[in-house]
Amino acid sequence: MDAFWSGVGVDLHLEPDAADGRRAGLERALRDAVRDGRLAPGTRLPATRRLAAELGISRGTAKSAYDQLIAEGYLTARQGSGTQVAPLPSPAADAPEATARARAPRFDLRPGSPDVGTFPAAAWLRALRRAIASAPSLAYDYGDPRGRIELRTALSGYLGRARGVIAPPERIVVTSGYVQGLALLTRVLDAGVIAMEDPGLPFHRDVVRHNGGTVAPVEVDERGVSVRGLDDAAAVVVTPAHQYPTGVTLHPERRRALTDWARARGGLIVEDDYDGEFRYDRQPVGALQGMAPGHVVYLGTASKTLGPALRLGWMVLPPHLVDAIADAKLHTDHHTESIGQLALAEMITSHAYDRHVRACRLRYRRRRDQLLDRLGTRRGVRGIAAGLHALIDVSDEGAVLARAAEEGLAVGHLGEHWHTAGGGRPQGLVVGYGTPRERVYPEALEVLGRVLEGA
């Protein structure tokens, strides 16, 4: 006997087997639904009168089945709350969570994430309400793979005034983040050689390889990425405003050399502007894209300014790549979700986004200054003019990381960022000051100081 429940908060398909009696069949069907997770803990079940009507059985049969499962601990019943699925222990499901909790560091100073506790929830909700109130009905339908025109128009103005990017709306493609943008580019370049900074983020190299590209390392020194070794590359991925992880700003001569290479060889520069909004000690460094908009793909994201959970990023493309990237996007996920795009567009045009970025810039500068005050002048701390991380020189990464693990402190290290393992390379800790909450950050710095003592 099949039945579909409606009007009870969930849709659940039951197939009670009445071979051993209607009550036994219903008990077994409910018990199995709880055991296999189709009825989650806390799910409210229909009243016995409604259940009986849905299944074509007597109310007494339905009540008896409920009573039996309550006695067995599968269900609970409270006056005014009705009958609900009981919170059942699930050791197999809980084991990974328990393991993750056991391994979670007491203090997390790993780089790569902002303080998500500062997400501007009130401003986001206001923007969302205004955006939804004025959105056309077509905003809820399938859309342009390039993204909503409202966001592309807002980004065009913002990126031009804040980052010096030449960004007409028709050359912007909205993505679900930097990783998707890099993956789309790799596919469009069709297995070409892509040069990537050494050191650089290993995961980004994996993204290129996973999407069919060939990765070639390109040296980074105190002036930023070098143009030597780019002869065979179809593209080079760079972080010119604040190189990751060394923190170097690309020198003006290197900027010119890089754009000259792109023009002369028909090469493509992929600019990862992952934290360009956060500069502290001098005027912001404009985007490289403004120097050669026909040869640079500019990639930006809201992950560091608002939060990674939004999954909103953008590509500003040379004209000859727009159609190919839009087509690749169409056949990847059709388009990035639209409601978040509308909300972000509203935040940008109302300048709420600017206000939030300025507040974050002050907060992260205070954290950077606290880090410098705690470490003093006893060791080299580099890459501190911008961004959410610093590179701290150490002579023995292994020993320092072992002490950090004993203290429950998680940090990044330079060794994991080189393309190939080997001795003789510079060593250092890559310390992020964006992730910790305000109340635990001072204690995290105290622990870091103890770890570095004697290093």
Rounded CA separation 375/368 (Å)? 11
- Determine the residue type at 289: Q
Rounded CA separation 321/155 (Å)? 19
The pLDDT score that the predictor gives to residue 424 is: 77
The pLDDT score that the predictor gives to residue 90 is: 52
Give the angle subtended at the CA of 170 by the CAs of 168 and 176, to the nearest 5°.
Answer: 100
Place of tokens 């000259």: 260
Question: What ranges do the domains of the chain cover?
Answer: 3-85, 107-117+357-452, 119-354
What value does the CA radius of gyration of the chain take, rounded to a whole number of Å? 28
- Determine the residue type at 124: W
The pLDDT score that the predictor gives to residue 375 is: 86
Task: Output the CA–CA distances (angstroms, integers) from residue 85 to 70, 75, 89, 234, 291, in the order listed.
Answer: 9, 4, 12, 58, 62
> Pick from 199, 285, 198: which is nearest to 242 by CA?
285
Task: Output the CA–CA distances (angstroms, integers) from residue 327 to 139, 168, 308, in the order listed.
Answer: 20, 19, 25
Query: 3-85 in CATH: which number?
Result: 1.10.10.10
**C-alpha atoms less than 13 angstroms from C-alpha of 322 in its C-beta half-sphere:** 17
Q: If the chain, 455 residues long, is cut into consecutive pieces of 10 residues, what is the mean pLDDT of each piece?
A: 45 72 89 87 86 86 89 85 78 50 78 92 97 94 96 97 96 97 95 92 96 95 92 94 95 96 96 93 86 97 95 97 98 95 98 96 94 81 92 93 94 94 85 90 94 78
The pLDDT score that the predictor gives to residue 4 is: 45
Q: What is the CATH architecture assignment of 107-117+357-452?
A: Alpha-Beta Complex (3.90)
| 0.75 surpassed by pTM | yes
Rounded CA separation 252/224 (Å)? 10
The pLDDT score that the predictor gives to residue 89 is: 62
The set of residues, in sequence order, having a beta carbon less than 8 Å from that of 38 and lying 6+ positions away, is 12
- Determine the residue type at 255: R
Rounded CA separation 182/315 (Å)? 9
**H-run or E-run covering 264:** helix 252-265
Instruction: Provide the token pair at 62.
Output: 């339905």
The topology under which CATH files domain 119-354 is: Aspartate Aminotransferase; domain 2 (3.40.640)
First to last CA, the chain: 72
The pLDDT score that the predictor gives to residue 38 is: 84
The pLDDT score that the predictor gives to residue 6 is: 44
